[in-house]
Amino acid sequence: MARFHDLRVTDIHKTTRDAVVVTLEPVNGAAEEFKFLAGQYLTFRRDFDGEELRRSYSICAGTDEGILQVGIKKVDGGAFSTWANEELKVGDTLQAMPPMGSFHTDLNPENENQYLGFAGGSGITPILSIIKTALKTEPKSNFTLVYANKGVNSIMFREELEDLKNLYMGRFNVIHVLEQDAQEIDLFTGMVTEEKCAQLFKSGWIDIEHVDMAFICGPEQMMLGIAKALRDHGLDDGQIKFELFASAQPGRLKRKVASKGSASSANQATVAISLDGATQTITMGKDVSILDAALENNIDAPYACKAGVCSTCRCKVLEGEVEMVANHALEDYEVEKGYVLSCQSFPLTDKVVVDYDQ
């Protein structure tokens, strides 16, 4: 199971009015665990008013820069991003899991590839890491970036991208597409949609026929449109890499509903089980697991190992109490929120309400 490590903040600076770039250093000898591939992300955890929140942010540093750096854009109502933008300071300690994610491609100095990247807003962070790493590792490869933002003021890493253009003259090209600010070329105003992509390909700004690999990171709608345009122009699924934007992560989790059930010594329990929007109430023995009881009653509850190892059968206890006899998969914070492994959980109270849909 992935473990959290302490990281110290060694630098923090604003890249736009509402986005910070945070540089981190693993402490307690965890440096080896934080080696990363360009395009991977870190998952942070922090306690807000007694409730643990986890947020993933992509690493924006190149793999050979020798630093860990993430970009965090403030999201309306986002507890973690607001805190990172307003309160986090040099010297603070953050907790993160080692880098994860498969938003990358294998690089080789011999490659002569044409890469194409699409970033929307803070979706630039993993793509920046890939740009820096690919151009450095593959001297014969080129990268074209289409970067969508609301306006000039909201462009993250604007100067850094200009520097990269100068450093890799002729090998790195950026097309800024701005939603609100007018530009000299009409094509570069508006949103990056399927149609916009088709126009960029047709007008020759992007040589789509020779693209070897494309990377897309942004909001859902934008990714769908771009992916469609790329497929229509001959790229197959293996040539299109996606990373879903941080804003798509679920919002703040609701607090666990207080237990109303009371303990009892009777052998039978009434258990309400919600799955796929339907709720069925069954009477079951307290010596039967919630999962087995559900299956016996023809409820198609999910499971795989039945040994408390894989977490497929995870559900949430909304009311009453259960005893989970083994748990090799859920972490403490999930258990605190009321999640249990239904294959290992037996009713303790006479009434239990569980939900597989949460």
Footprint on this chain of other proteins (rule: CB under 8 A): 1-2, 41, 43, 54-56, 100-103, 120-121, 148, 179, 191, 218-224, 227-228, 237-238, 241-244, 247-250, 275-276, 300, 302-307, 309-314, 328-331, 334, 356-358
Q: Residue for token digits 């122009």? A: 233
Q: What is the dihedral of CA 20, 25, 28, 30, to 10 degrees?
A: 100
Q: How many CA atoms does the CB half-sphere of 351 hold within 13 Å?
A: 6
Measure the CA–CA gap between 217 and 240, rounded to whole angstroms.
11
Cβ nearer to other proteins, comparing 171 with 233: 233
Measure the CA–CA gap between 84 and 110, rounded to whole angstroms.
40
**Residue 281: CB minimum distance to other proteins, A:** 20
Q: Are 122 and 104 in contact (CB under 8 A)?
A: no
Measure the CA–CA gap between 298 and 25, rounded to whole angstroms.
52
**Residue 140: CB minimum distance to other proteins, A:** 25
Cβ nearer to other proteins, comparing 145 with 223: 223
Cβ nearer to other proteins, comparing 95 with 219: 219
**Residue 171: CB minimum distance to other proteins, A:** 26
**Phi and psi based region of residue 126 (left: phi greater than 0; alpha: psi -120 to 50; beta: remaining):** alpha
CA distance to 169, 209, 210, 214, per residue, from 139 (Å):
12, 21, 17, 18
Measure the CA–CA gap between 208 and 175, rounded to whole angstroms.
14
- One-letter amino acid for residue 296 of the chain: E
Cβ nearer to other proteins, comparing 150 with 210: 150
**Residue 203: CB minimum distance to other proteins, A:** 22
Cβ nearer to other proteins, comparing 164 with 273: 273
Measure the CA–CA gap between 124 and 130, rounded to whole angstroms.
10
Cβ nearer to other proteins, comparing 228 with 351: 228
**Residue 221: CB minimum distance to other proteins, A:** 4
Residue 12: beta bridge partners?
A: 22
**Residue 157: CB minimum distance to other proteins, A:** 18
Cβ nearer to other proteins, comparing 318 with 348: 318
Residue 8: beta bridge partners?
A: 25, 93
**Residue 229: CB minimum distance to other proteins, A:** 13
